[in-house]
Amino acid sequence: MLTVSILGATGSIGRSTTDLLAQHKTRFRIGALVGGRDAVALAKLAREIGADFAALADASQGAALREALSGSGIPNGAGESAVLEAVAREADIVVAAVSGAAGLRPTHAALRLGRTVALANKESLVCAGDAFMRDAARYKARLLPVDSEHNALAQALGDGVVADVSKMTITASGGPFRTWTAERIAAASPEQAAAHPTWSMGMKINIDSASLMNKGLELIEAHHLFAIEPERLDVIVHPQSIVHGLVYWRDGAVTAGLAMPDMRVPIAHCLGLGERLTVERGRTLDLAAVGSLTFEPADEVRFPCLRIARAALASGGAAPTVMNAANEIAVAAFIRGAIPFYGIAELVERTCEHFAGTYRTAPADVDEALAIDAHARAWSAEALGERRAAE
């Protein structure tokens, strides 16, 4: 049996993973589970699946977790040291699904142990991609892409080599604002922005999808995963979310990864380690029933975050690290009503412009990436304060 630990166990990827593991109890066992701050949800999950260890990132919730797990016999802890203890426990596969820059340190810790890492934390590669890929090779760790787009690209690439690829394209559903005018988008509420038409990924990621920042982050992730230049990466809008990634070959052929929009499909591909797992209760793709697949170019005028992300990728250095930090601050501000929807792109672009030339080289390690992240966050938060004062 393979032991699987899950970082971000109570999020959407974590829940899809535990559902899949429950379907294959004779093949997998659960190691450690790591959550954010919801002690009740993590304890319930740990009891249900018989986890070896449970940890919360929020140290202040340690007592609540101990109480919720009282009598279960499941060791537990809270805070960074407990999270790193969870990562250090024996595991064959670590599913890295912590959202945001908070996932860098535990994901990198798993990588340093030479684990097979099923990567759903795209920020690890956005913020410290050079360091992660270098260390993956150094410690002989495997990085398997969980994001549906990158997983589709990996499957479409197959045994081929990137040197024979003319272009890799990831798809976007277009989000809830695909057909909206810029004026209507400008007045959108957080609830409207989070109403994703296809996926349920949590408030922050859904809003990133609405702004197309999510696609920008995924372009940066693809650049590192496949060692492919930015100019050979593209985004196309595909509302049906059936085609997830396309590989264009230099001879004119195109291969694509298709599946129903169900995150258990790419998760199964990663956990199978080369073998195919059955996904029970999954929807079978019936192209005749779908009827038609449509595609349209991504609009970087109505969705400037995609343009900003492309520019950060082209700039290189720590520009993506800065951009991601500013985006996390901006999205949080939008959720609490401090800025309008287009204020997200405005703040991110201002922050990137402020730091242009400051960090010319990519972070050498996770510590440097997190230091740059903290610097950019502080400046972005201060800029928000100046905005409110001006208003």
Q: Residue with structure tokens 């982050």?
A: 217
Q: Which of 43, 45, 16, 144 is nearest to 92 (CA)?
A: 144
Full-model pTM: 0.94
For residue 119, give the amino acid letter.
Answer: L
Q: Write out the H or E segment, with its range, that includes residue 76.
A: strand 76-78
Q: pLDDT tens for the chain, 391 residues: list them.
A: 999 999 999 999 999 999 999 999 999 999 999 999 999 999 999 999 999 999 999 999 999 999 999 999 999 999 999 999 999 999 999 999 998 888 999 999 999 999 999 999 999 999 999 999 999 999 999 999 999 999 999 999 999 999 999 999 999 999 999 999 999 999 999 999 998 777 666 789 999 999 999 999 999 999 999 999 999 999 999 999 999 999 999 999 999 999 999 999 999 999 999 999 999 877 889 999 999 999 999 999 999 999 999 999 999 999 999 999 999 999 999 999 999 999 999 999 999 999 998 998 999 999 999 999 999 999 999 999 866 544 4
Q: What is the dihedral of CA 137, 142, 146, 152, to 10 degrees?
A: 80
* Dihedral pair phi/psi, residue 7, rounded to 5°: -95, 120
Domains and CATH numbers, the chain: 2-146 (3.40.50.720), 150-390 (1.10.1740.10)
The 3-class secondary structure across 296-358, one letter per residue, is EECCCCCCHHHHHHHHHHHHCCCHHHHHHHHHHHHHHHHHCCCCCCHHHHHHHHHHHHHHCCC
CB 127 within 8 A of CB 148: no
